[in-house]
Structure formats: structure tokens, C-alpha cells
Structure 1
């Protein structure tokens, strides 16, 4: 998992703790944040607390009003694409909505990235994708989910980077925490042969500079990932209801 800026230093620790509380619903929209209580809890200076509040404000999580003080904002104002916010949402018990929305975003972006990669990839980028595929396959010799997750992230980052589009390449910073959450949950139920064959089809098409084939192979991979995500989220009643609601909205 990436180390985010918010976790550095004293004020970073305060930001991290408060950010997690907001994402977990321990602090909800409208709740007042008592800065005097934070001074006692964290045993830091008022300057540290002010700096932490400033960071949370830039992420849209808190704001201040005269005579009201600092409060947690409504969800519509949260910077959901911020790396820290994504990390907080994906840690611990994953946010079901995040897992489903990630699948939808990947279904839109990654097939297009694979198409571009097939056309634009350099020999070096092609070699990196092949190496990432080999490393991913090797992780199935272990039952350790962490190594599998890391290897899968490296593979998808390599494809995004080979697209030749800087915005797509940078998007992996946002995807990493959420992919980590999804893959850790899915690893135990992964069918090795199907999983590797699906990834290898993407590699083969990119190496052959087959743009249509790369798009189609990645689309199949993303569709399977979406089905896996729905299965994961549907393990409880609330998650199953969310899946049903989103399907009915299509």
C-alpha cells in the first residue's frame, strides 16, 4: 500500500486518524470537531491541529463557519479521487460502494488503455508488461495474498503506462488503494487458470500490436473483475441490496 503524504509528521498523524474516522462513519456530516478535545487526545500543539484541519479542508472533508466551528462536510464535497481519501475508504472492511464504482471505472478506462498500449507501446514497455505477467503468474505458487495483490497492481500499472497517455498513467495512484481492497478479498476465490489466461490474452494482443484484440481481452478481464466484485460485495444484505440497486439503474 502506498504511503500517503497525510501520514507524515505529527499533523499527518492527526489527519490520518480523523480522515479514517470520517470514512468509517465515526464522524458524520454535520458533526462538530472539537479542537480543544483534539489537543488533549493527541497531545500536540494547537498549530499541529490547525495544520491538520487545513489539510482535511483541502480534501473537502471539513469546513468552518462563524459561531459554529469546524464541522464534517456533506459527502458531495469530499474529494473522492484524492489518494488519501481512497486509502481511507479501502482500508479495513472495504467500502462496498467503492469496490463497485471502481469496477465501473475500470470497465471504462482499462480496455481503452490496452488499445492505446497495443498501438503506442515501446519495446521496453512491452518487456515490462511481459515481466509483470511472469511475476503475477509466479505469485500463485504462494498462498500469500499480499504478493499476488502487488503483482497484479504492477501488471495493470504497466499497461496504463504503455498507453502513452500521462493522465491514464497517473490514474494508478488513485486505483491502487481500491484495487488492493478488491484483490485481497478476491484472491482466495480466484481460479488460477482462468485468471492467468485472461491476463495473458491482454499481453499477447499488446505484444502483437493488435489494438482491437487488446481492447477485447481487457474488456473480458474487466467484466470478470466486475462479476467478482459483485460477488464479494453481496456477502451481506446491505451489499446485495447495493448491487441490485445499481443493476436496476442501468
Structure 2
């Protein structure tokens, strides 16, 4: 996805600094010297000022008299901002993001599936079925990007069919994080089980069976959460992170 931070000269500065903060190259309390940015990026003071303003709105930096511009504590970051989500999910995805995404999906997506079963139009139902066909087709090869795209399309179609604008718009936040999770999980998923669980959701929505749709999506999300925990637990730090987040939903 193309985010605001990717546009223009000041957008480039925002993008680079945002990535550095997300990767821990700049940590809470670190001072950001505007003059150093002028030299590094070869841009005007106006560009640097605008970039700092954008990062401030995202909660990543702030300024104090006699201290200057500094990186803020994590609790002030706008974690639902689409740029922040993208920075966290690119490269080696943030394991905490993967786990938290799984928890959010366990809460939201079964409810969205229940609503979609009741509220979906014939056109939306056709879109969900088409997305299922495309998703199944990705298992004919091992190309991760096509799988990620199809999986995102499937879940976006259900969110849209829920008839709830807030749920539908939430896909803007979920997209980069889902992308990260799917890239990690693709090699670990069992094709038959993965597809059968998705098809069960589609069947229930087509039949307008809200209870079955919610149950099927919960099964799918619970499996997704287990997959995420398995992947994140590959190293000691990840295993500790998973253990500290018990009990699961």
C-alpha cells in the first residue's frame, strides 16, 4: 500500500525516521537534530519542519524548550496509524504486532462474519465467493505475494459485507499487519485445512447463517492465532513473549 509518508520530499524524511524509530535505531528520549537532518537528506529547513510535524501527529516525536525534538515513549505512539503499522510490519515483522493482530482478529472477525451473513448483498456475496476462488488458486504455486493479496481480499470482502463502516475501514489498519503475518505463516499452513476453514465461512455467509458464520470464523481465527504463536516462538525471545501473553482468547 502507498502511505502518506511515501509522498514528497518531507514524506521521504518521515518514512526514513519512522522506520528508524520502529526498528529501535532511535529510542525513547533520543534527540533528533534538525540541522543534522538538513545535511543527511539535503533538503530545506521547511521540509524538515514539515516532516517533524507529521511525526509529531503520529505521536513518535515531540519537542521541549531547551531540549529540542526527541523520540517519545512507546505509549504515546499512534499504533493504529497506517504508516506506523506499515513500519512495524515491513522487513522482519514485529513479533508483538503479529500476536496482537491475532488477538484483534479473534475479537473482530467472527462478529464481522455474523453481520455479513445477515446484511450482505448478492453482489457482496459474489465478491466473497470470488475471493475464495482466488485464494484457493494461490495454493497451486508457492508465490507468497499472490497468496497474501488473495487472503487480504477475502477478509476485506467480509469486513465490507458486514454493513458496518468502522469495521470496513479497519482493513486500512489491518492490511500491512496481515501482510506481515501471511508472509510468515504461508510456509507453515496446511493447504487442505486452511482452505476448508475459509470455505466454511463462505458457505455460512452464502446461507445467511449468522451463527454458523461466526463459529466458522472463530475456528479460522483460533487456528491463525495458534499459527502465529508457533511462528513467533521460533526463538527464545519470541517464546517468552508468547508465554507472557497467556491465557489466549
- TM-score in terms of structure 1 length: 0.98
Which secondary structure state, in structure 1, belongs to the residue aligned with residue 62 of structure 2?
strand
- In the alignment, structure 1 residue 45 sits paired with structure 2 residue 44: yes
Unaligned runs of 5+ in 1: none
Distance 2:167 2:127 in 1: 17
Distance 2:248 2:117 in 1: 34
Alignment partner, residue 203 of structure 1:
202
- In the alignment, structure 1 residue 172 sits paired with structure 2 residue 171: yes
Does the C-alpha gap of structure 1 residues 177 and 119 become closer, same or farther in structure 2, counting only changes over 3 Å?
same
Which secondary structure state, in structure 1, belongs to the residue aligned with residue 31 of structure 2?
coil
Alignment partner, residue 27 of structure 1:
26
Alignment partner, residue 76 of structure 1:
75
Alignment partner, residue 236 of structure 2:
237
Which secondary structure state, in structure 2, belongs to the residue aligned with residue 38 of structure 1?
helix
Distance 1:67 1:168 in 2: 44
Aligned-pair CA distance for 1:160: 0.2
Tell me which stretches of 4 or more aligned residues in structure 1 moved more than 4 Å. Answer: none
Does the C-alpha gap of structure 1 residues 148 and 164 become closer, same or farther in structure 2, counting only changes over 3 Å?
same
Aligned-pair CA distance for 1:142: 1.3
Name the Cα RMSD after superposition.
0.9
Unaligned runs of 5+ in 2: none
Alignment partner, residue 190 of structure 2:
191
Aligned-pair CA distance for 1:189: 1.4
Aligned length: 249
The within-5 A match list for 1:93-104 is: 93-104=92-103
Alignment partner, residue 126 of structure 1:
125
Distance 1:40 1:247 in 2: 47
Alignment partner, residue 227 of structure 1:
226
Worse-matched range after superposition: 185-194 or 19-28: 185-194
Which secondary structure state, in structure 2, belongs to the residue aligned with residue 247 of structure 1?
coil
Aligned-pair CA distance for 1:207: 0.2
Deviations 1:133-152 (A, max 9, x none): 00000011111000000000
Alignment partner, residue 113 of structure 2:
114
Alignment partner, residue 142 of structure 1:
141
Aligned-pair CA distance for 1:249: 8.5
Aligned-pair CA distance for 1:248: 5.1
Distance 1:143 1:92 in 2: 20
Aligned-pair CA distance for 1:180: 0.3
Alignment partner, residue 182 of structure 1:
181
Distance 2:142 2:126 in 1: 27
Does the C-alpha gap of structure 1 residues 195 and 248 become closer, same or farther in structure 2, counting only changes over 3 Å?
closer
- In the alignment, structure 1 residue 158 sits paired with structure 2 residue 157: yes
Does the C-alpha gap of structure 1 residues 248 and 159 become closer, same or farther in structure 2, counting only changes over 3 Å?
closer
